[in-house]
Amino acid sequence: MLLTRLADVSREVAATAARSRKIALLAELFRDAEPDDVPIVIPYLAGRLPQGRLGVGWKALGQSVPPADGPTLTVREVDARLTELGEVSGPGSQAERARLVAALMGAATAGEQRFLLGLITGEVRQGALDALAAEGLAQATGAPPADVRRAVMLAGSLQAVAQALLAQGPAALDRFRLTVGRPVLPMLAHSASSVAEAVGKLGACAVEEKLDGIRVQVHRDGDVVRVYTRTLDDITDRLPEVTRAALGLAGRRFVLDGEVIAFDDTGRPRSFQETAGRVGSRVDVATAAEAVPVSPVFFDALSVDDRDLLDLPFAERHAELARLVPEPMRVRRALAAGPDDVPAMEGFLAGTLARGHEGVVVKALDAPYSAGRRGASWLKVKPVHTLDLVVLAAEWGHGRRTGKLSNLHLGARTADGGFAMLGKTFKGMTDALLLWQTERLRDLAVEEHGWGVTVRPELVVEIAYDGLQRSTRYPAGVTLRFARVLRYREDKRPEEADTVETLLAAHPEVAR
Partner DNA sequence: TTCCGACAGTGGGGTCGCAAT
Partner DNA sequence: ATTGCGACCCCACTATCGGAA
- Return the SS3 of 304: strand
**CA–CA distance, 175 with 164 (Å, rounded to integer):** 9
Site for DNA in 104-133 (CB under 7 A): 123-133
**CA–CA distance, 427 with 401 (Å, rounded to integer):** 12
Q: Could you tell me the smallest distance in angstroms from the CB atom of residue 337 to DNA?
A: 21
Residue 67 DSSP class: P
Site for DNA in 218-247 (CB under 7 A): 229-231, 233, 235
Q: Could you tell me the smallest distance in angstroms from the CB atom of residue 168 to DNA?
A: 24
165-173, 262-270, 379-387, 489-497 -> range binding DNA (CB under 7 A): 379-387
Q: Could you tell me the smallest distance in angstroms from the CB atom of residue 95 to DNA?
A: 5
Q: Could you tell me the smallest distance in angstroms from the CB atom of residue 252 to DNA?
A: 27
CB contact at 8 A, 421 and 410 = yes
Residue positions forming the annotated binding site: 208, 215, 230, 259, 299, 374, 380
1-9, 326-334, 469-477, 491-499 -> range binding DNA (CB under 7 A): 469-477
Residue 110 DSSP class: H
Residue 280 as a binder of DNA (CB under 7 A): the answer is: yes
Out of 482, 490, 502, 506, the only residue in the binding site for DNA (CB under 7 A) is: 482
Query: Per DSSP, what are the bridge partners of residue 190?
Result: 379
Q: Is 427 among the residues known to form the active site?
A: no
Residue 354 as a binder of DNA (CB under 7 A): the answer is: no
Q: How far apart are the first and last CA of the chain?
A: 61
**CA–CA distance, 109 with 115 (Å, rounded to integer):** 10
- Return the SS3 of 358: coil
Site for DNA in 380-439 (CB under 7 A): 380, 382, 384, 395, 397-401, 406-407, 423-432
DSSP string computed for 391-419: EEEEEEB-GGGBTSEEEEEEEEE-TTSSE
CB contact at 8 A, 227 and 242 = yes
Site for DNA in 149-208 (CB under 7 A): 149, 191
Residue 29 or 56: the one with the smaller Cβ distance to DNA is 56
CB contact at 8 A, 460 and 389 = yes
Residue positions forming the annotated binding site for ATP: 208, 215, 230, 259, 299, 374, 380
Site for DNA in 250-269 (CB under 7 A): none
Residue 456 as a binder of DNA (CB under 7 A): the answer is: no
Q: Could you tell me the smallest distance in angstroms from the CB atom of residue 102 to DNA?
A: 14
Cβ-Cβ contacts under 8 Å for 275 (sequence gap 6 or more): 212, 213, 214, 260, 261, 262, 269, 292, 294
Catalytic residue (one of 22, 59, 201, 210): 210
Q: With contacts defined by CB under 7 A, how many residues of the chain interact with DNA?
A: 90
Residues serving a catalytic function are 210
